[in-house]
Amino acid sequence: MKNDNMLRVGILGCGAISQAAHFESCIKAENIELYAMCDQAEDLLKRMAEIYPCEKTYTDYDRMLNDENIDAVIIGIADQFHVECAKKALKAGKHVFVEKPLGVSIEECEELKKIVHESGLVLQIGNMKRFDGGIQYAKKFIENEIGEVTTLKAWYCDSTGRYQMCDNVMPVIYTSKKIKRPAGNPKADREKYYLLGHGSHLFDTAKFLVGNPLNVQTKFIKKENMYSWLIACEFENEIIANLDLTIAVRMDWHEGFNIYGTKGSVTGKTYNPWFFKSSEVECWNESTGLVTRPFEPDGHFYRRQLESFADVILKNAPMTGADVDDGILTLRALKATYDSVRMGGKKIWLKDAGGSL
């Protein structure tokens, strides 16, 4: 059901994430109108507009930004282009929803932050796990019942079986010979590519649940095509943490967390996102002696994150998605993780991290 007041959105990029998540999410969202889409690959754009009807199509991003009917853009393009395209949108007076990670260099993201603040517009990052009902329940339990958090263990381990599983459940993903790609091949450096692509979820979920990470000390191993990071961290409020990022484990998708507090504990199991299934969470409250295990049937976190983005703009609702500060902190954590490996596992403070991945 559509509301009367809707956010008119233009999507930049007709690639995999838009096809698998954003087009459908805009059409299903109660408060969004899929008004326009843009891709320089004209054949792909035409095909997408046939599947997901919208008012306007553009091959030129600047022209889409000149369309005064558009309130906000969704940026679903390669990481290396995020900041440049987000800046342009803000300068054109459009709110921005940009895919994760926010960018690839800390400096470019700090620069973007200034523009976000000057503009007074909303910028939200596509860390959709914040809109997983199970994870949201865990967050509330942590805020209200767990006492003081002491310890976090979190893991994000992609599975070698993932491509087959995704292929089975995702829509057919179309491409074109004319798509715009970053110079070189950023995917060739798997270490950076996996940190940006997957590590950005691991750190953002951890931050969402227990607060800001302060430093990292990393152990890393690469064998054949398997990359594994074990990251010892300190978070604010003296929380100690161990994070495991492994791409890819020889088992099913393996993602989740254990969190210990002085008055309770939480465990969570998160599924491959393309199953659209909320995390299974168990919260143990020591004083009641009860374990609660919520059932959250709406696992369409891609739609939910866009509805929330639209509510922030249309209704001045509180921002629960990742904002520019969250995006910068995550990038700092990822760069610090990368640098720590290079320095033999040295402790790196996020505030000292700089440069790009």
Which residues would be at the binding site for ligand NAD (CB under 6 A)?
A: 13-17, 38-41, 44, 61, 76-79, 81, 85, 99-100, 126, 128, 179-180, 197, 273
Q: Which residue is nearest to ligand NAD (CB)?
A: 15
In the complex, minimum distance from the CB of residue 344 to ligand NAD, in angstroms, rounded to a whole number:
29
How many CB atoms neighbour CB 287 within 10 A? 9
Of the pair 128, 336, the CB lying nearest ligand NAD is at: 128
Of the pair 99, 311, the CB lying nearest ligand NAD is at: 99
Interacting residues of 153 by C-beta distance below 8 A, sequence separation 6+: 241, 242, 243, 244, 257, 258, 259
End-to-end CA distance of the chain: 42
Of the pair 65, 152, the CB lying nearest ligand NAD is at: 65
Of the pair 35, 61, the CB lying nearest ligand NAD is at: 61
Closest CA to 323 of 308, 341, 304: 308
User: Which DSSP string do the residues of 246-298 spell out, in sequence order?
Assistant: EEEESSS-EEEEEEEESSEEEEEEE--GGG--PPEEEEEETTTTEEE------
In the complex, minimum distance from the CB of residue 345 to ligand NAD, in angstroms, rounded to a whole number:
27
In the complex, minimum distance from the CB of residue 222 to ligand NAD, in angstroms, rounded to a whole number:
21
In the complex, minimum distance from the CB of residue 35 to ligand NAD, in angstroms, rounded to a whole number:
16
Q: What is the largest CA-CA distance in the chain?
A: 61
Of the pair 99, 255, the CB lying nearest ligand NAD is at: 99
Asked if residue 82 lies in contact with residue 98, where contact means CB atoms within 8 angstroms, the answer is yes
In the complex, minimum distance from the CB of residue 212 to ligand NAD, in angstroms, rounded to a whole number:
21
- Phi then psi for residue 196, to 5 deg, are -65, -45
In the complex, minimum distance from the CB of residue 12 to ligand NAD, in angstroms, rounded to a whole number:
6
Of the pair 12, 214, the CB lying nearest ligand NAD is at: 12
